Amino acid sequence: MTRMMILGLLNNFGSMSGYEIQQMLQSSQTEMWAYVQPASIYHALRKLQQEGKIILETVEHTGLRAKAIYKIAEDGVLELRQLIEQSLSKSSVVFPASLYTALTFMDELPVPLILEALAKQEREIAAVMAAMKHGEEMKAQAGAMTVQAEAVFTNIYAQVGMQLEFIRKLIVDLESRQEGESL
């Protein structure tokens, strides 16, 4: 995902420094929806340069600092197209395997502990939803909202909302079960 993100940014926005790429990734909150950690881009930039996918266009010196500016190579454009096609054709359904496994064996824990853990997850999911809504607002204010970005946000909200609803139903069901056992 990191390779596609870097190649895509260089292809769409032209020559950029690693810092500029990192800032774009952070402002787009890619660590939340694309699992791209902004700090991982420097390693990826070196590797892409070694492979001839990107070219070191220039090095700008400002005082004691040097800033490397990269541009995408023709080979990088070809790889970007391949990565896009592969990602579009691959199933994007991801199950919360860790949660499902924990639910399978949750009877090993006391109900109050299960409820506490699920409440924590509920708060974390709600925080993700709030962060994504904030990111959408920032993108819209910057005038960078494309049809594709709108579709991504809509899909994210549907998935996060569904997961939040699932966790809340589990909590209600467990609370009902706990009340029934205490009678």
Q: Report the first-to-last Cα separation within the chain, whole angstroms.
A: 52
| pLDDT on residue 142 | 81
Kindly state whether residues 29 and 58 are assigned to the same domain. yes
Residue 89, token pair as written in the block: 């054709």
| pLDDT on residue 183 | 52
- The Cβ of residue 18 has, within 10 Å, a number of other Cβ atoms equal to 18
Kindly state whether residues 172 and 131 are assigned to the same domain. yes
**What is the pLDDT tens value at each position of the chain, 183 positions in all?**
899 999 999 999 999 999 999 888 887 777 777 788 777 889 999 999 999 999 999 999 888 888 999 999 999 999 999 999 999 999 988 899 999 999 999 999 999 999 999 999 999 999 999 988 988 888 888 887 889 989 999 999 999 999 999 999 999 999 998 887 765
Kindly state whether residues 151 and 76 are assigned to the same domain. no
Kindly state whether residues 139 and 178 are assigned to the same domain. yes
Number of domains in the chain: 2
Among the candidates 38, 72, 89, a domain finishes at 89
